[in-house]
Amino acid sequence: MLKRLLALLHLSHVPADDAETPANPRKELGRAGEEAAAARLKRSGLSILKRNYTCTRGEIDIVALDGQVICFVEVKTRRPDAMLPPERSVTSAKRRQVRRVAKHYLRAHNLQNRTCRFDIASVIYPVSGEPSVEFIRNAF
């Protein structure tokens, strides 16, 4: 409706809904890292229950099932020239947030009595070639 009003008033050009927005390289890298991590978890025998679980307390990248254990996986992706390995960027504040979101997930799905763990998928994604994924169980 706003687009139509602006067009009628000839005040400005409003791009069409399908106009592409400029790509965000960091988000693209993060998305690619999550894809690589999910594929690695599946190859390792885990079942992906949910990706990008979001609630008012925050977000968890991957919720997976390893046998009977519910795994909350934080994915960190970097380029090979990064100063620190990806897993080093999971700060204490981020760990607290992931725990809060995990509690919300467990309550929302009536899984409070299930065993769970917190893992990190550390992804090094080169400009060309395949990414390397290190899966760190019980990271925090």
Query: How many residues are present in the chain?
Result: 140
What is the per-residue pLDDT for 3? 47
Name the band, by pLDDT with cuts 50, 70 and 90, for residue 117: very high
Q: Which domains does the chain have, with CATH numbers?
A: 24-136 (3.40.1350.10)
Tokens of 94: 């981020």
pLDDT tens readout for residues 20-70: 555 898 899 999 999 999 999 999 999 999 999 999 999 999 999 999 999
- The beta strands (E) that lie in 6-131 are given as 47-55, 58-66, 69-78, 116-124
Q: Please, where are the H alpha helices in 63-127? A: 92-108
Sheet holding 116-124, edge to edge: 47-55, 58-66, 69-78, 116-124, 132-136
Is the entire prediction scored with pTM above 0.75? yes
List pLDDT tens digits, range 93-116.
999 999 999 999 999 999 999 999
Q: Which amino acid does the sequence have at 31?
A: R
| Residue at 103: amino acid letter | K
Q: Is the pLDDT of residue 9 over 90?
A: no
